[in-house]
């Protein structure tokens, strides 16, 4: 939620014409994985493609990083004349993904460190359930 709020603040700042070169060029790309991946994985869980409560894995982050990089930096510029490939965006996607993995790695887990119950403690406030 924090990343989504930061993304929104950045977009409002961009609309107002404020911010640094980095915030105008790369902050939204940096926030792509932390903001979009949880929602996308929720859809995957809804479709039955993954365990609903599982912490995002390195493979899921890397897989989406590769797909989004190809679509946004290779396919997009070939389909849309206003789109520009900037491989610095891929570095920003990857950096945001690494930060997100570190953050998700700190998420509290249920009994026995089971990654499928990582939201249990957050929801109940009790580690013993």
Judge whether 112 lies within some domain. Answer: yes
Q: Is the pLDDT of residue 118 over 90?
A: no
**Could you tell me the pLDDT band of residue 91, with boundaries at 50, 70 and 90?**
very high
Judge whether 102 lies within some domain. Answer: yes
Structural domain count of the chain = 1
Q: Name every residue whose Cβ is closer than 8 Å to that of residue 92 and which is 6 or more positions away in sequence.
A: 26, 27, 29, 30, 32
First to last CA, the chain: 25
Judge whether 129 lies within some domain. Answer: no
What is the pLDDT averaged over residues 60-88?
Answer: 92
**Percent share of the chain, pLDDT over 70:** 76
Q: Is the pLDDT of residue 121 over 80?
A: no
Judge whether 17 lies within some domain. Answer: no
Judge whether 79 lies within some domain. Answer: yes
The whole-angstrom separation of Cα 28 and Cα 19 is 12
> Mean pLDDT, the chain, as a whole number?
80
Range of the domain at 106: 25-124
Judge whether 15 lies within some domain. Answer: no
Judge whether 11 lies within some domain. Answer: no
What is the pLDDT averaged over residues 33-43?
Answer: 90
The whole-angstrom separation of Cα 38 and Cα 76 is 23
Judge whether 12 lies within some domain. Answer: no
């Amino acid at each position: 939620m924090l990343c989504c709020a930061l993304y929104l603040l950045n977009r409002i700042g961009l609309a107002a014409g404020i911010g640094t070169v980095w915030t105008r060029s790369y902050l939204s790309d940096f926030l792509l994985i932390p903001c979009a991946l949880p929602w996308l994985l929720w859809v995957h869980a809804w479709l039955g493609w993954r365990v609903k409560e599982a912490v995002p894995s390195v493979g899921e982050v890397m897989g989406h990083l590769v797909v989004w990089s190809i679509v946004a930096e290779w396919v997009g510029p070939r389909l849309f004349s206003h789109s520009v490939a900037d491989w610095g965006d891929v570095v920003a996607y990857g950096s945001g993904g690494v930060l997100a993995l570190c953050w998700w790695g700190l998420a509290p887990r249920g009994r026995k460190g089971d990654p499928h119950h990582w939201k249990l403690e957050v929801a109940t406030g009790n580690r013993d359930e």
